[in-house]
C-alpha cells in the first residue's frame, strides 16, 4: 500500500514545475525581456501575465495545503483552479483567447505541465478519499 505521505509529496512535487512556469517565467520575462512578452501575447500581454502570476500564486499556496492540511475542504479548493488551468489550455488550442491566454499551438512542455497538474488533482482526490475513510 502506498503511504498517504508519499501521495502528498508526489502531488506537491508534481505542481512545482507548473507553478514555476506560471509564476516565475512570466515575471522574469516581463522584467528582463518585456518585448518578448509583447511579441508572444500582443495586446493581451498584461492580462496574460496577470493571469499566469495569479495562477502560479494559487498553485504555490496549494502545494503547501496538500503537504500540511487534512481538511478536505481546503484540498478540494485546490482542484478547481488546476482544472480551470487545464481547461483554459485546451480551449486556447482551438484558437480562442481566454483570460488573456492567446491561442496556443500545443507542445511537449505544455502537455507536461498539464499532465503534472492532473497528477496534482489525482493526488488531492486520493488524500481526500483517504481522510474520509
- What span, in angstroms and rounded, lies between the C-alpha atoms of 120 and 7? 9
Say if residue 114's pLDDT is above 80.
Answer: yes
Say how many CA atoms lie within 13 Å of 66 toward its Cβ.
Answer: 32
pLDDT at position 16 is 92
Express each pLDDT in 34-72 by its tens digit. Answer: 787 777 777 777 877 888 888 899 889 888 888 887 777
Q: Count Cβ atoms within 10 A of the Cβ of residue 63 and give its class: 0-12 exposed, 13-18 middle, 19 or more buried.
A: buried
Dihedral over Cα of 77, 78, 80, 85: its sign? positive
pLDDT at position 118 is 92
pTM recorded for the entire structure: 0.80
Any idea which of 11-20, 49-58, 101-110 has the lowest mean pLDDT?
A: 101-110
φ, ψ dihedrals at 107, nearest 5°: 170, 165
- What span, in angstroms and rounded, lies between the C-alpha atoms of 133 and 130? 5
* Domain ranges, ordered by start, for the chain: 4-132
Amino acid at each position: 500500500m502506498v503511504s498517504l505521505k508519499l501521495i502528498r509529496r508526489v502531488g506537491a512535487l508534481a505542481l512545482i514545475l507548473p507553478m514555476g512556469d506560471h509564476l516565475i517565467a512570466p515575471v522574469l520575462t516581463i522584467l528582463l525581456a518585456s518585448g518578448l512578452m509583447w511579441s508572444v501575447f500582443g495586446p493581451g500581454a498584461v492580462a496574460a501575465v496577470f493571469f499566469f502570476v495569479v495562477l502560479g500564486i494559487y498553485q504555490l499556496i496549494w502545494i503547501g495545503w496538500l503537504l500540511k492540511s487534512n481538511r478536505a475542504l481546503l484540498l478540494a479548493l485546490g482542484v478547481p483552479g488546476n482544472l480551470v488551468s487545464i481547461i483554459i489550455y485546451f480551449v486556447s488550442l482551438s484558437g480562442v483567447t481566454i483570460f488573456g491566454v492567446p491561442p496556443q499551438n500545443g507542445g511537449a512542455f505544455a502537455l507536461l505541465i498539464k499532465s503534472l497538474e492532473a497528477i496534482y488533482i489525482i493526488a488531492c482526490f486520493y488524500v481526500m478519499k483517504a481522510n474520509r475513510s
